[in-house]
């Protein structure tokens, strides 16, 4: 596995680099294709953050963990990536079934993905604040609505950091 380690506001020592390569390198056992990973170690105030990005075919696995200890952050981000890998592989084998299994990009695929559900939603004019409130009420990660201010179809969504985003069409 090709692992690139870089530091932001931290000198990457040989022992730290070796630890990253050992821990992230163990993810290779899940795949039968050559992999690469970009690892960024950074320190901000008292938080020591590890970011790992691994392109695997058409999928990009990404994990980011912060703690007060760099070695703990490395361990936790590897655990997070292992869970992502297991989740991804389980989804493929459960969902897509075909008579003969095929291997693509290192994963066992059993058919092409398809649309499994269609949902029709009324596009009621509302403000962005009302749309955010509806988003929280329905418990989804996004909500489609007609923006009362613009008259256009828009989407509000929940970001990973807990804030909200707004997607507006550009014609």
Domains and CATH numbers, the chain: 2-109 (3.30.160.100), 125-167 (3.30.505.50)
Taking only the tens place, the pLDDT of each residue in 96-107 is 444 455 555 555
pLDDT band at 165 (very low <50, low <70, confident <90, very high): very high
Regarding pTM above 0.85, the answer is no
- For residues 70 and 5, what is the distance between their CA atoms, to the nearest angstrom? 13
CB 77 within 8 A of CB 52: yes
Taking only the tens place, the pLDDT of each residue in 131-144 is 888 888 777 888 89
Q: Which helix (H) or strand (E) holds 129?
A: helix 128-138
pLDDT band at 33 (very low <50, low <70, confident <90, very high): confident
Strands 164-167 and 153-158: antiparallel
- For residues 116 and 97, what is the distance between their CA atoms, to the nearest angstrom? 13
């Amino acid at each position: 596995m090709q692992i690139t380690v870089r530091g932001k506001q931290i000198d990457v020592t040989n022992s730290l680099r070796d630890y990253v390569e050992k821990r992230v390198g163990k993810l290779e056992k899940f795949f039968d294709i050559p992999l690469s990973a970009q690892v960024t170690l950074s320190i901000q105030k008292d938080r020591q953050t590890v970011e790992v990005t691994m392109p695997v075919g058409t999928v990009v696995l990404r994990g980011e963990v912060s703690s007060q200890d760099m070695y703990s952050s490395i361990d936790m981000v590897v655990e997070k990536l292992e869970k992502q890998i297991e989740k991804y592989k389980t989804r493929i084998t459960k969902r897509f079934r075909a008579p003969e299994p095929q291997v693509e990009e290192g994963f066992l695929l059993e058919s092409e993905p398809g649309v499994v559900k269609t949902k029709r939603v009324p596009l009621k004019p509302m403000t962005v604040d009302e749309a955010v409130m509806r988003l929280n009420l329905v418990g989804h990660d996004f909500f489609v609505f007609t923006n009362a201010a613009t008259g256009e179809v828009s989407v509000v969504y929940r970001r990973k950091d807990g804030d909200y985003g707004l997607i507006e069409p550009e014609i």
